[in-house]
Structure 1
Amino acid sequence: MVQQPFFIDTVIAPSYEGMLLRDYLIKKVRLSRRALKAVKFRDGRLLINGEEQTVRYRLKAGDKLSIVFPPEDKSPSLKGKPMPLDIIFEDEHVIVINKPPGIPVIPSQKYSTDTLANGVLAHLEKQNLAYTVHTVTRLDRETSGLLLIAKHRHAHDFFVKMQKAHEVHRRYLAVIQGNLEKEEGVIDAPIGRKDGSIIERTVRLDGKPARTNYKVIKRLKDLSVAAIKLETGRTHQIRVHFSHLGYPLAGDDLYGGSLEIIGRQALHSFELSFRHPFTDENMLFQAPCPEDMRAIIGEIPLQMI
């Protein structure tokens, strides 16, 4: 069965009469030059009223434009593997998934098949879509919670620009060992790779800028529960910043946390928000903590944080 490529159908408004199709695609449809090149040279098609046209076609009011994107290249190392997916939201452009702890997002040498990307690819293949997996936000293997995936390249291009403009927002809940001195604050400390390690990060003067905002929402015996919002997205940023202050995340044995409290780093992406790049709708999603974190901190009304 031939897989269905992504396409956009629209009718040209009178205000675009006489505009070159190329300019319309860039200014109105907001195609990236990379995507436009793929449509032009890689089995995509530009149809006006059902007939193929070049980008030098001058538009007429009422023209019916169809943009047929080429099938997307799939990495030979990424194979679809059906698995349960906790899909919070899905439309023709995006998928929001609530990831459980213990599952990597993308394949690596250590985890080649049992990743979220394998499951998402199988999900796309089941829908007979000629797409591949475009992760927008990622989580560490043992971190749980919401993440965003673009279903096709055009959507991914939008989200890349939105991330650079800090228009994709995430908030986390973390269980932190010790009682943080301040009720809220900002950790502003550059992060870089730790010498001699390909995995660990550390605060270092020659690292990349990193800012973490936090607010304590609950205190337990020798533990602080904090809501966290990142201004930057460095690898292991939350884990490194709190460990640097002397307050590692519970269960984060890589950065000094104790596995006696919980069997993985107690970090959950509980909120994700963004403006939908195709509908302009403000999207906000929340996901309660999984059972292992709730067993420590109890129920926390997310809408009150």
Structure 2
Amino acid sequence: MNYHFIKRSLISQNLRQFLCQQGFSKTQLKQLQYHNGHVYVNHKRRYWNYQLRPNDEIIVTLPQEQGSDQILPQQGTLDVLYEDDNYLFVNKPAGIASLPAKGLNSPTMANLVKAYLQNAQLNDVIHLVSRLDRDTSGILTFAKNAYAHHLIDQQFRTQSIAKEYLALLEGNFAKQQGEIKLAIGVDPHNHNLRCVDANGKFAWTKYQVVQQFDNFAQVRVQLITGRTHQIRVHFAALGHPLLGDQAYGGATDLIQRQALHCCRFRFFDPIQDQTLTVKAPLAPDLQMIVSKKLSATE
């Protein structure tokens, strides 16, 4: 993969400083130097301390990455929402894990994506940007190389990314919108679950009610922080667990999985110098529940 840059600034910089400004980490610079990566300035190989001049052309050729043998390619249906040279956004169905886990033999999204990349004769190293729970549906983001992964990962630390969900939550909401700021920690009774814990990590969720029905509401949720099970824990703490989320007190009469769907992902792509927004339509099982309720009220 080649990346092309032009030095526009008049500020004095050497090659290393310029590449760091473009988002290359120290680790990636080492890989470029020692693992067959290449950096050219005006079509000539240069050392890191080479002093750049305005309008210099810099071309970076990334080294070949080695994929993990723990993720095997498996053919299957992949619903691609958006793809370019750097990122792949797919619509994950409920009931399939994001990544392989010990003792799990069924295909995961990573297995399907690896096969998809191989079929397209692309680098098949898996760079999952952020995972979704097995029973959560919606947008799953993969980067196609370590550099693209690093660029988007940095944005999670600056709140530049907007990640929105649609949730079906039990009960009637007194307010049409609100914020939840409750710290989250590991559940002392079950280390696979989380709970509200004053000594845990700070967690911040915003929400807006889209449609209130007689016994549940369709709610748009935005994560400001990204803690494990954050939406599930926060709304359960308010007395509004997700429909179907038995682990956190949700009823399973309407649906057998947590009624949660990642519907929108917005981030700034510095490679293309533009903001990208990816959307995924509400999963069919959740849409069916909403449609039946709407029909019943007409």
TM (norm. structure 1) is 0.89
AA of the residue aligned to 1:173? L
Q: Deviations over 1:91-128 (max 9, x none)?
A: 00111111111111111114355111111122222232
- TM alignment of 1:100-111, pairs within 5 A: 100-111=93-104
Q: Structure 1 residues 56 and 288 mapped into 2: Cα distance closer, same or farther (>3 Å)?
A: same
Match of 2:120 among 106, 127, 130: 127
- TM alignment of 1:1-305, pairs within 5 A: 6-10=1-5, 15=10, 19-27=13-21, 29-59=22-52, 64-112=57-105, 114-298=107-291
Q: Structure 1 residues 178 and 11 mapped into 2: Cα distance closer, same or farther (>3 Å)?
A: closer
User: Residue 294 of structure 1: CA displacement?
Assistant: 0.9
Question: In the aligned structure 2, how far is the partner of 1:299 from the partner of 1:63?
Answer: 61
Q: CA RMSD in A?
A: 2.2
User: Residue 219 of structure 1: CA displacement?
Assistant: 1.5
3-state SS in 2 of match to 1:298: helix
Aligned to 1:3: none
Question: In the aligned structure 2, how far is the partner of 1:222 from the partner of 1:11?
Answer: 58
Q: Structure 1 residues 24 and 258 mapped into 2: Cα distance closer, same or farther (>3 Å)?
A: same
User: Residue 225 of structure 1: CA displacement?
Assistant: 1.3
User: Residue 54 of structure 1: CA displacement?
Assistant: 2.2
Question: In the aligned structure 1, how far is the partner of 2:261 from the partner of 2:186?
Answer: 23
TM (norm. structure 2) is 0.91
Q: Structure 1 residues 200 and 72 mapped into 2: Cα distance closer, same or farther (>3 Å)?
A: same
3-state SS in 1 of match to 2:130: coil
AA of the residue aligned to 2:3? I
User: Residue 65 of structure 1: CA displacement?
Assistant: 3.3
User: Residue 269 of structure 1: CA displacement?
Assistant: 0.9
Question: In the aligned structure 1, how far is the partner of 2:103 from the partner of 2:285?
Answer: 25
Q: Comparing 70-79 with 128-137, which one deviates more in the overlay?
A: 128-137
AA of the residue aligned to 2:208? K
Structure 1, unaligned runs of 5 or more: 1-5, 301-305
Structure 2, unaligned runs of 5 or more: 294-298
Question: In the aligned structure 1, how far is the partner of 2:61 from the partner of 2:291?
Answer: 50
AA of the residue aligned to 1:130? N
User: Residue 141 of structure 1: CA displacement?
Assistant: 0.8
Aligned to 2:296: none
3-state SS in 1 of match to 2:263: strand
Q: Comparing 154-163 with 7-16, which one deviates more in the overlay?
A: 7-16
